[in-house]
Homo-oligomer: A and B are copies of this chain.
C-alpha cells in the first residue's frame, strides 16, 4: 500500500505534515509514504526511514491560487506530482491539506472520476450526540455549489457504500436533508432526488431529515447539495463553539462559585469537547474519484495529519473503491442494456415502417 502525501499544503507545511507521517509510519511498516515537496526542507526531518520516500517537487500551489489554472500551469507542484503518482499507479491514495479547489481540480483532471459518477462530492463523518454515538456521513459539504437530482442520487449510493464498507454499518440509513419530512418538501430538485433515492434498491433510504435532528443520530448518511451542506456544517461548528464559549464566559462571570463549579465539571466539558473535536475525526473524503483522496483542514497539526493518514489506510483496507466499481459498472451496464434494447426497438420499428 502506497500513499501519496502532498507535503507542501496547509498552514503548517511541510513540518506538521512530515511529523504526522512520522507518527504513523512506525505503526504501519508495510505502508509506503511518498512525501511530495521541497526535498531540502523535508529530507532533514525524515532522515532515513525505510518506508518514507521523499519526492522532490519544485513548485507548490498556494492558498490564493486559482484552482484549475494552478493545476494546469504548475506542473511541478507537489499536489500535481502526487496526483500524477496516483493516476499512474505509483500510489494508491492522495492526501493534502492544501487549496481545496485545487485538490478538487487535480483529482478530477488528473486522477479522474469513477465510471458513472458525474460530480464527486466532499464528505465528512460527523459525530452524533445520541446514545449510539455512531456519527453520520455528510455529503456534499462543498465540492459543488449546485446539484442535480441525479447527483444527489449518486451521493446516496456513494455515502451508503462508504458507511457500510469503511464504517461497518450493516444497513446504513440514508436520508435527504430537506426543510420538512414530507416527500413534497423543498425545491423541484429535492422532490426529484427524493423520488430517485426512494426507487434506488441498492440503499436503505429513510426519507427526508431536517438539519435540527442531524446531531441526534437520525441517519447514518445525509445527502445534500454542496452549498447547503457547507452552510449547515459551518452553522453546526459555529453554534457548538459559540455555545461552549458563552458558557465558559458565564461561568467566569459567576466568580469564585462559578470557578469552583467549572473545576468540578472540567471532565464533563473535556469529554464533550473531545466528541465535537473534528481534528480527531480525520479529514473530508473526496468521494467519486478513482482513488481515495483525503482533504485535511488547512490548519492541521501533526496529530490531525496522523489521524487522516490512518483514515486513508482504513479506507484502502476496506476496498470500498472496488465496491463502488461493481455498483456503478453494473449501473452503467444496465443503462447500456436499456440503450441496446431501445436501439433494437427503434430498428424494429424502422424495419416495419420500411416494410410498409
Contacts and interface: CB of A to CB of B under 8 A. Distances in A.
Interface of A: 129, 142, 145-146, 177, 179, 186-187, 190, 210-216, 224, 226-228, 230-232, 234-247, 250-251, 253-254, 257-258, 260-265, 267-269, 271-272, 275-276
B186 A227 contact: yes
A145 to B, nearest CB: 5
B231 A215 contact: no
Contacts of A272: 243, 246-247, 250
Given A235-B236, A245-B129, A272-B247, A257 B253 contact: no
B238 A213 contact: yes
Contacts of A275: 246
A238 B261 contact: no
A53 B230 CA distance: 49
A176 B42 CA distance: 42
5 contacts: A211-B235, A216-B242, A236-B239, A250-B268, A254-B268
Chain A binding site: helix, strand, loop or mixed by DSSP? helix
Nearest to A144: B187
A213 B245 CA distance: 13
A235 B214 contact: yes
A232 B271 CA distance: 26
A259 to B, nearest CB: 9
Contact of A238 (B215, B241, B244, B253): B215
A265 B260 CA distance: 9
Nearest to A237: B212
Given A145-B186, A243-B240, A231 B232 contact: yes
Given A177-B231, A238-B215, A268 B264 contact: no
A268 B243 CA distance: 12
A241 B211 CA distance: 12
Nearest to A271: B250
A244 B242 contact: no
A227 B129 contact: no
A140 B63 CA distance: 32
A296 to B, nearest CB: 18
Nearest to A241: B212
A186 B247 CA distance: 33
Nearest to A251: B268
Contacts of A234: 179, 210-212
B267 A238 contact: no
Nearest to A128: B242
A26 B250 CA distance: 35
A212 B271 CA distance: 22
A200 B230 CA distance: 27
A242 B129 contact: yes
Contacts of A263: 261
Contacts of A232: 211, 231-232, 235
Contact of A268 (B231, B242, B253, B271): B253
Contacts of A213: 238
A208 to B, nearest CB: 11
A109 B259 CA distance: 57
A241 B129 CA distance: 11
Contacts of A261: 260-265, 268
